[in-house]
Chain A
Amino acid sequence: MLTAAFRRMRRAALPRSTLRFVAPLTVLAGWEVAARFGLINVFLLPPPSKAFADLIVLGSSGHLWKALYASLFRVVCGFALAVTVGVCLGIAMARVRLINDFFDPLVELLRPISPLALFPLAILWFGIGDGSKIFVIALAASFPVILNTFAGARSIDINLIRASRSLGATELEIFKGIVLPASLPYIFTGVRLAWGISLIVIIAAEMIGATVGMGYMVLEAQQTFRTERVFAGIFVIGVIGFATDLGFRRLRQWLLPWYRETED
């Protein structure tokens, strides 16, 4: 009863979407106040207002956009490669035993290796530019796509395929009409994970070896003791991750309107 009353009160006071911003804003405000009153070391934790001011400087000088463009270009290329290869390989492994027997040990051997361990090699192979980053992203991000696609294509209810066959479907019609749509929720989960991994890998890779990019920008700021710039960069990286994940959820509602998830 109490929770019902609380729920009613909350609904009247604030819509849920607004409520979501309360916690982050409270933290920011507390941090700002603590920094202003000298309660924390402003070199290690500069006030958010200073980081935002630096963000504007970075934006207006064009520095930010150049770094952002370089990073996102690498992420999108690597991610697109991972999704294409991952979906094709995942489905092929699920449906053809020979392909599964061939690729499965390879996937299992490569999967536990940190993609960053391969980055020095990637630089040797593809150079310090975009190629090496696209390679490690594609490699790291393809595993969740492969594994989820495989799980999806394997877990199809046999009776769906039987029903479709009875209705007169050809093998191609079963693949397009049953196997693909039935795997789609799983593929989607894999794709979403792959995107998250791509964002993590690119920053790390750019901190190890790059001449431009968000990771490089943050590292360079740290090495020149500009902590506010470090925070500005981290903030941009965070916003991109948050906004794109929101985009993925919207995309799923639009792509898979029939899909019911018990908990989101």
Chain B
Amino acid sequence: MVLGLGQELVRFDRVALTFPGISGRRAVEVLRRLDLSIGAGEFIAIIGPSGCGKSTLLSLLAGYLTPSSGRVLFAGKPVSGPGRERMMVFQQPALFPWLTTAENVAYGLKLKANRGNGRNVKETVAAMLQLVQLDGFARHYPSDLSGGMRQRLEIARALAVDPQVLLMDEPLAALDALTRRRMQREVLQIWEKTRKTILFVTHDIDEAVIMADRIVVMAQRPTFVLEIEEVTLPRPRLREDPEVSKIAQRLSALLE
């Protein structure tokens, strides 16, 4: 199912999640009531205090967790488990260490579920590696790559199976400041080229303002959506731009 730009692709409908207390520990209410609608092609940033359930939101949409109540809808249907239309990009890259760069990207394409979808494995791998600028590293193992390269490889592996949504869980948090800035530009470029819907969790407010169409601000646990900030400034946006810092300061005040 292909949706036009701006049509609703994801909907969190009164989603609540409580982790049951295991072996005497108290049950933890992570999400109290989450309502959120995301359009196809949008770049959404999610910010909030640490431990507020930002990653939980992504895991729900990825299908790794199921809500205690409410519904997570993707393209109008409830999410019932992991699927290649919703790909996660983990904070600590979950690359397969025994596969080379090219083999990591090819892994998904070679699975039974994705065979015979008309995508040539070799061509797709080459195109993906070029997209994330890893074309010279096809035969390297993940352990030979730098942090930024691993993160790009993980994006390439996810994009290879042509998902509709990229779920990025603090993907740049582990990188040094310089690499981080470069990766912010690269993620935006990839988004502009592929027009995938992106949910981007970050704890860096500036990063959210620089990158996103809309910023979802989440409250302290048990979480709900505190506010949704629409950012209409033209890209590329700079941290130093007074308009950017004005929004960032407002959001930061909201979180305190």
Residues of chain A whose beta carbon lies under 8 Å from any beta carbon of chain B: 157, 159-160, 162-170, 173, 177-178, 181-182, 184, 256-260
CA–CA, A258 to B114, complex, Å?
Answer: 26
Please tell me which stretch of B85-93, B171-179, B211-219, B238-246 contacts chain A, meaning at least 4 of its Cβ atoms lie within 8 angstroms of it: B85-93
CA–CA, A259 to B86, complex, Å?
Answer: 30
CA–CA, A173 to B161, complex, Å?
Answer: 16
Q: Is the CB of A168 within 8 A of B114?
A: yes
CA–CA, A170 to B81, complex, Å?
Answer: 12
Q: Is the CB of B82 within 8 A of A165?
A: yes
Q: Is the CB of B96 within 8 A of A168?
A: no
Q: Which residue of B lies closest to A170 (CB)?
A: B112
A181 with B96, Cβ < 8 A, contacts A166-B88, A169-B113 known: yes
Residues of chain B within 8 A of A165, CB atoms compared? 81-82
Q: Closest CB of chain A to B62's CB: distance in Å? A: 6
A169 with B96, Cβ < 8 A, contacts A159-B90, A162-B82 known: no
CA–CA, A159 to B92, complex, Å?
Answer: 9
Residues of chain B within 8 A of A159, CB atoms compared? 90, 92, 94
- Cβ-based interface call for B141 (8 A): yes
How many chain B residues sit at the interface, stated as a range, is 20 to 34
Residues of chain A within 8 A of B64, CB atoms compared? 162
Q: Is the CB of A178 within 8 A of B96?
A: yes
- Cβ-based interface call for B222 (8 A): no
Q: Is the CB of A160 within 8 A of B111?
A: no
- Cβ-based interface call for B83 (8 A): yes
CA–CA, A184 to B168, complex, Å?
Answer: 30
Q: Is the interface of B mostly helix, strand, loop or mixed?
A: loop
Which B residues between 141 and 180 are near A, CB-CB below 8 angstroms? 141-143, 157, 161
Residues of chain A within 8 A of B142, CB atoms compared? 258
CA–CA, A44 to B97, complex, Å?
Answer: 53
* 9 A-B pairs with C-beta separation under 8 A: A159-B92, A163-B94, A164-B107, A166-B63, A167-B108, A167-B111, A167-B114, A258-B100, A259-B97
Residues of chain A within 8 A of B100, CB atoms compared? 258
Residues of chain A within 8 A of B84, CB atoms compared? 166-168
CA–CA, A162 to B157, complex, Å?
Answer: 13
Q: Which residue of B lies closest to A161 (CB)?
A: B94
Q: Is the CB of A169 within 8 A of B111?
A: yes
CA–CA, A160 to B99, complex, Å?
Answer: 12
Q: Is the CB of A258 within 8 A of B98?
A: yes
Q: Is the CB of A157 within 8 A of B94?
A: yes
Residues of chain A within 8 A of B96, CB atoms compared? 160, 164, 177-178, 181
Pick from B94, B97, B98: contact of A162, CB under 8 Å: B94
Q: Which residue of A lies closest to B94 (CB)?
A: A159
* Most B-side CB within 10 Å, residue of A167, A170, A177: A167
Q: Is the CB of B107 within 8 A of A177?
A: yes
Q: Closest CB of chain B to A51's CB: distance in Å? A: 45
CA–CA, A157 to B94, complex, Å?
Answer: 8
CA–CA, A259 to B97, complex, Å?
Answer: 8
CA–CA, A159 to B64, complex, Å?
Answer: 10
CA–CA, A258 to B143, complex, Å?
Answer: 8
* Most A-side CB within 10 Å, residue of B62, B111, B157: B111
A162 with B161, Cβ < 8 A, contacts A167-B84, A256-B98 known: no
Q: Is the CB of B143 within 8 A of A167?
A: no
* Most A-side CB within 10 Å, residue of B62, B96, B112, B141: B96
Residues of chain A within 8 A of B161, CB atoms compared? 167-168
Q: Which residue of B lies closest to A162 (CB)?
A: B64
Q: Is the CB of B112 within 8 A of A173?
A: yes
CA–CA, A157 to B93, complex, Å?
Answer: 11
Pick from A166, A169, A182, A258: contact of B87, CB under 8 Å: A166
Pick from B62, B98, B111: contact of A181, CB under 8 Å: B98
